[in-house]
Every structure is written in structure tokens, then in C-alpha cells.
């Protein structure tokens, strides 16, 4: 069988075998674990990421804090001694003087209804604000998990290709040795094949290290299941500039300004309500000596916000200034994300073109160059060094094609999960 045909068959066989090896070797006891698909990774991340659990706890805290927001303050118990003499024969007596009394009472404060309503509104919008933060965190988890899964899948596909090239190189080494044995080559040519084998080993070591790094990155989001073998592929997301630009106005980091504004509006209303008087009701029972009758007291008190220019008005002005600044902050965030969209979409287009160029132009040319160099070497018209260089260029081209495809997928994931979570994300178990 001719060397190119044999190499092609061996390469295909090795690629099929080695594509499964990352899940069977080097996993430290997880070789028989369930495979980790892309959707399973997202579901695990949503369910197990500590950041999302922390967000859920903070949202629950906001809900709990909203329960007493509109309630009255706790009543106050009052205890006292009234009209106790401090001089004379009956000093410190609680029974001899008709006006000496032991008093017990209760007081209830009643904040004005506008203030209580504003507090309820602020608490309700703080819940919405926490939910908006949770949405941002959830999308970040999905986006980073997708990127980590794709990065690991990319390096494992490169490793599979390296192993296939290694098998092909062993066949090439045998051909070189056979040529030397037939008296058609020099002994120095045997060194070239071994040098190329060493180069392939160095590439493999680099990729194995990157694979471990990618597993560590994925483990941050999915936990110990990151060691499991991967299965399947990432989705081929539709990336369209018009759709992304339309979704920009609903970006989670922009949507968060609505509840923030509503919280500030409620705080402004509460500050204005401070200019309206609160009131309190107090009732007391006063016990005198046995020879005198007991007494009761009812008292109503009112706040007097008479100095609003130096008390309530500055608070109102501060909240209004904060509200006005929020609009400017939203515009700044909008511009930032619009610029990021244009830059990321331009990079996605570049990567998309680069992948097509690599697959449709550079890979075929690299293969053709190897074929020509091999034919020249076999016919005695070419140097072995030219064949070795052509093979190295083909290796670089193949690995670059896989790397570019992975980069394009990562960029697509970042664009896809930047604006809103699809209904199916994180639902599969």
C-alpha cells in the first residue's frame, strides 16, 4: 500500500480511537463516570454554583426584610414613679402622699401613612433589584460555563489529532528506515523522523497541560463532575448583528436600573413624608396608696417638623440628586455595552472567516504541500527536510483550525448568553 494511503487510513483509525481516550485515561478514577454534555454542564452550574446560592440567599433576605416594612413600630412599655416626695417626714414614701404614684403604661408610635407606604414600595423594589442581580449572575454562570466547556472540548480535539499524527509519524519513520535499508537514503535521514516525533511529543505535553487547566476552569462552575469525559458538542448558535442590537436595550445590566430607580423614588417619597408629622398614643395606669384612688392617663404626642430647611429638605435633595445621577450612569453603561457588542461581533466575524479560510484553503494547501514534498522525496528529487517542514506546517494548520473553531464557539457563547437566558438553558439534568 502506498505511504499516503496507508497514512490516511491509519490517521482516520487513530482519530476515531483517540477521540474516546480522553474519557478513558488520565481522569484519576472517573473513567466510568457519566459523560458531561454541554447542556448537563449548564444545568450543573446553575444548580451547584455557590455564587448563585449566595444570590438566592440574598433575595430571600430581601423578601424577609419586606415583611415588616409597612408595619407599625413595636409598642413601648413604660414604668415610672410619679410625684415621690424627696423631703420631709414622708420622703421617698409611695403611700403617704396623695399624689405619689407607681405608673405602668404602654406607648404606640404611628408613623404617617405616606412614610409607611414608601417603605413598603422601597422593600418591594429591593426584592426586584435582588432578582435582577440574580439574573445577571445566572447569565454570567451560563456564559462562563459554556466557555469553559468549549475550551476543554477544543483542547481534547487537538489532543486527539496529535495522537493521530503521532501514529502517522511512526509509519513515516518506518518508511524512512525502509528507504535507508534499500540504499536510497542516508542514515542522517532517520534523525529527521525522530526529531519530528519529539516535536509532536512536546506539542502533546503542552496540550495535556492546557487540558488540565481547562478542567480546573470548568470545575469552578460544575464541581467534581468537571473530571468526567465530555460528550457531544456545543450548539451552533445563530449570531446575527441585528438581533443582538435589538436585544441590547434589554441587557440585564441595563434592566437593573429600573428597580434601582424605583427604590430611589420610594426613598424620595419617604424623605418627603418626613415633613408630615408622626404621632404616638400613650396610656398609663397609676397606682396610689390604699387610702387614695388609682388614676389613669391617656396622652397623644405629635412630631413637629418645623425645621425642614436643615433636616428634611437636604435629605430630599440628596435622594433627587442620586436619582438624576442614575440616569447618567445608565447612559454610560448603555454606551459601554454598545461598544462591547460592536467589538465582540467584529471579532466573531473575523473568527468565522478565519475558520472557513483555515478549513477550505489553508488545510487543503498544507496537505497538497505534504503530498508534493513526499512525491519529490520518494522520486529522489526532493530533500527530506522539505518533507519534514511541510508536515510540521500541516500539523500547525490542523491544530490552528481546531483552535480557531473553539475561539469562534467561545465568542458565540459569550454573545448568545450576554443578553438573556434562553428558556432551555440550565433546565436539563
Is residue 20 predicted with pLDDT exceeding 50?
Answer: no
| In a shared domain, residues 171 and 105 | no
Report the distance separating Cα 213 and Cα 152, nearest Å: 9
Structural domain includes residue 427 = no
| In a shared domain, residues 78 and 67 | no
| In a shared domain, residues 395 and 336 | yes
> Edge-to-edge strands of the sheet including 101-110?
76-82, 101-110, 279-287, 295-302
Structural domain includes residue 121 = yes
Q: What is the model's pLDDT at position 152?
A: 97
Whether the CB-CB separation of 363 and 397 falls below 8 Å is answered with: yes
Q: What is the model's pLDDT at position 115?
A: 95
| In a shared domain, residues 63 and 80 | no
State the DSSP string of 12-33: HHHHHHHTTGGGTSSSSS-TTS
Range of the domain at 79: 73-110+277-306
| In a shared domain, residues 81 and 165 | no
Q: What is the model's pLDDT at position 188?
A: 67
Q: What is the model's pLDDT at position 427?
A: 42
Is residue 394 predicted with pLDDT exceeding 50?
Answer: yes
- Identify any residues that bridge with 287 across adjacent strands, giving them in sequence order: 102
Q: What is the model's pLDDT at position 65?
A: 93
> Over the stretch 173-229, which tens digit does the pLDDT of each residue have?
777 777 777 666 666 666 777 787 888 888 899 999 999 999 999 999 999 999 999
Structural domain includes residue 422 = no
Lowest mean pLDDT among 105-114, 120-129, 186-195: 186-195
- Pick the closest to residue 235 from 398, 428, 18 (CA basis): 428
| pTM as predicted | 0.78
| In a shared domain, residues 7 and 77 | no
What is the count of structural domains for the chain? 2
Is residue 42 predicted with pLDDT exceeding 80?
Answer: yes
Is residue 7 predicted with pLDDT exceeding 50?
Answer: no
User: Which one-letter DSSP state was computed for residue 316?
Assistant: H
Q: What is the model's pLDDT at position 380?
A: 73
Which alpha helices (H) appear in 187-237, and where do they start and end? Answer: 189-222
Is residue 45 predicted with pLDDT exceeding 70?
Answer: yes
Amino acid at each position: 500500500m502506498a505511504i499516503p494511503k496507508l497514512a490516511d487510513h491509519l490517521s482516520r483509525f487513530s482519530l476515531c480511537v483517540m477521540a474516546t481516550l480522553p474519557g478513558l485515561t488520565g481522569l484519576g478514577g472517573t473513567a466510568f463516570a457519566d459523560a458531561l454534555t454541554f447542556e448537563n454542564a449548564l444545568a450543573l452550574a446553575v444548580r451547584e454554583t455557590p455564587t448563585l446560592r449566595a444570590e438566592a440567599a440574598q433575595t430571600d433576605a430581601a423578601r424577609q426584610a419586606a415583611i415588616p416594612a409597612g408595619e407599625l413600630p413595636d409598642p413601648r412599655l413604660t414604668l415610672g414613679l410619679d410625684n415621690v416626695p424627696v423631703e420631709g417626714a414622708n420622703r421617698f414614701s409611695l403611700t403617704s402622699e396623695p399624689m405619689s404614684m407607681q405608673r405602668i403604661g404602654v406607648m404606640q408610635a404611628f408613623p404617617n401613612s405616606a412614610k409607611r407606604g414608601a417603605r413598603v414600595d422601597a422593600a418591594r423594589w429591593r426584592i426586584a433589584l435582588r432578582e435582577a442581580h440574580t439574573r445577571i449572575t445566572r447569565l454570567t454562570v451560563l456564559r462562563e460555563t459554556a466557555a469553559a466547556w468549549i475550551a476543554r472540548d477544543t483542547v481534547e480535539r487537538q489532543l486527539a489529532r496529535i495522537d493521530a499524527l503521532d501514529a502517522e509519524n511512526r509509519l513515516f519513520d518506518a518508511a524512512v528506515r525502509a528507504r535507508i535499508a534499500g540504499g536510497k537514503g542516508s542514515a542522517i535521514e532517520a534523525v529527521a523522523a525522530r526529531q519530528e516525533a519529539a516535536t509532536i511529543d512536546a506539542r502533546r505535553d503542552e496540550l495535556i497541560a492546557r487540558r488540565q487547566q481547562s478542567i480546573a476552569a470548568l470545575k469552578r462552575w460544575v464541581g467534581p463532575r468537571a473530571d468526567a469525559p465530555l460528550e457531544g458538542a456545543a450548539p451552533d448558535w445563530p449570531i446575527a448583528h441585528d438581533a443582538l442590537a435589538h436585544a441590547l436595550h434589554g441587557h440585564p445590566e441595563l434592566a437593573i436600573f429600573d428597580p434601582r430607580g424605583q427604590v430611589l423614588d420610594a426613598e424620595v417619597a419617604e424623605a418627603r413624608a418626613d415633613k408630615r408629622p408622626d404621632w404616638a398614643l400613650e396610656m398609663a395606669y397609676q397606682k396610689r396608696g390604699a387610702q387614695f384612688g388609682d388614676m389613669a392617663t391617656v396622652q397623644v404626642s405629635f412630631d413637629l417638623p418645623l425645621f425642614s430647611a436643615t433636616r428634611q429638605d437636604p435629605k430630599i435633595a440628596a435622594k433627587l440628586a442620586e436619582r438624576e445621577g442614575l440616569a447618567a450612569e445608565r447612559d454610560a453603561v448603555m454606551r459601554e455595552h454598545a461598544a462591547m457588542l460592536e467589538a465582540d461581533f467584529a471579532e466573531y466575524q473575523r473568527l468565522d472567516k478565519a475558520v472557513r479560510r483555515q478549513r477550505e484553503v489553508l488545510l487543503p494547501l498544507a496537505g497538497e504541500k505534504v503530498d508534493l514534498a513526499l512525491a519529490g522525496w520518494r522520486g529522489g528529487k526532493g530533500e527530506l527536510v522539505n518533507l519534514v517542514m511541510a508536515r510540521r506546517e500541516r500539523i500547525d494548520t490542523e491544530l490552528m483550525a481546531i483552535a480557531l473553531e473553539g475561539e469562534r464557539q467561545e465568542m458565540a457563547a459569550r454573545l448568545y448568553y450576554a443578553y438573556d437566558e434562553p428558556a432551555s438553558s440550565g433546565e436539563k439534568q
